[in-house]
Amino acid sequence: MRKVKIMFMICFCLTVSGCDKVRELVKANEHKNEIKTNFTQSQALQDNGNSTEAIEKFKQIEADPAASNQQKASALRYISLSYYELGDYPRSGDYAAKAASYYPAGSYDYLVNMADADLMQGRIPTARERLEQAVRINPHQLAANNVLGLLYMGDNGKQYADFDKALVFNQAAFDIAPGRITQIVLVRNLIKVGQYSTAQTNLNELKLKHPNDNRLRSLQNELDASRTEPKK
């Protein structure tokens, strides 16, 4: 009888221990899913222009011990982009360099993030070289197309402006990831190369999705003014 009791206690302990491990695994898996959900929500905030709120949510993801290195690196890059949108270029560069540290030197993601850091510190030729190398590695990724498109729009200095070349990268960026930010840049570019009808079509789409975006009103004014300007 005593042996039966002992065996029962051993089985009970093993069962409880097993249940605890199962609960821990379920809880860990649920938390990983929460991180993925939070990441998607943070991306939506950033794409809709809520940069400050997006930064806070991405910082929470980056600080979460359960987040993967890839999630942390991606969160850092989005923080960098959000600070860029807010005009805080030093912080944007700092976070880009932090993101780069998660990747092997010379890889696509390393090159893109280091290029962002270079841009924020005025090393434009170095950044351009890194970005063009990244596009050669993978021409179908968003980041390098997006940043090169902005560089050739003259955002980092008018001396680097080449609107026809910019359109190649900005169209690619929009095709890869159609969203508010990539479409706004595309409209800017289309205006610069005189494709006013296509610019208006894209701008109308943006207005339907983001009716309260003041930036779109400015773009409409720019488009209207460009249409009436005498051709050079």
End-to-end CA distance of the chain: 103
User: What is the sign, positive or negative, of the torsion defined by CA atoms of 109, 111, 115, 118?
Assistant: positive
Contacts of 192 (CB under 8 A, 6+ apart): 153, 163, 166
Q: How many CA atoms lie within 13 A of 101 on its CB side?
A: 9
CB 124 within 8 A of CB 157: yes
Q: Is 107 strand, coil or helix?
A: coil
Whose CA is closest to 101, among 89, 116, 113?
113
Taking the CA of residue 227 as centre, how many other CA atoms within 13 Å lie in the half-sphere pointing to its CB?
Answer: 12
Backbone angles phi, psi at 53, to 5 degrees: -65, -40
CB 174 within 8 Å of CB 182: yes
Given a cut of 60, is residue 133 above it in pLDDT? Answer: yes
Separation of alpha carbons 227 and 232, rounded Å = 12
Q: Rounded distance, CA 31 to CA 60, Å?
A: 13
Share of the chain above pLDDT 90, in %: 54
pLDDT at 123 over 90: yes
Tell me which DSSP letter residue 86 carries.
T
Residue 156 reports pLDDT greater than 50: yes
Instruction: Determine the average pLDDT of the residues in 28-32.
Output: 63
- In CATH, what class is 54-169? mainly alpha
Q: Is the pLDDT of residue 16 over 70?
A: no
Domain spans in the chain, listed from the N-terminal domain onward: 54-169, 178-232
> What's this model's pTM, rounded to 2 decimal places?
0.70
Cα–Cα distance measured from residue 104 to residue 93, given in angstroms and rounded to the nearest whole number: 19
State residue 21's pLDDT score: 63
CB neighbours of residue 211 within 10 Å: 8
Q: How far is CA 206 from CA 37, 125, 154, 189, 201, in A?
A: 25, 33, 23, 15, 9
Token output for 230: 């005498």
Q: Work out the pLDDT band at 108, boundaries 50, 70, 90.
A: very high
Weakest-pLDDT range from 1-10, 91-100, 149-158 = 1-10
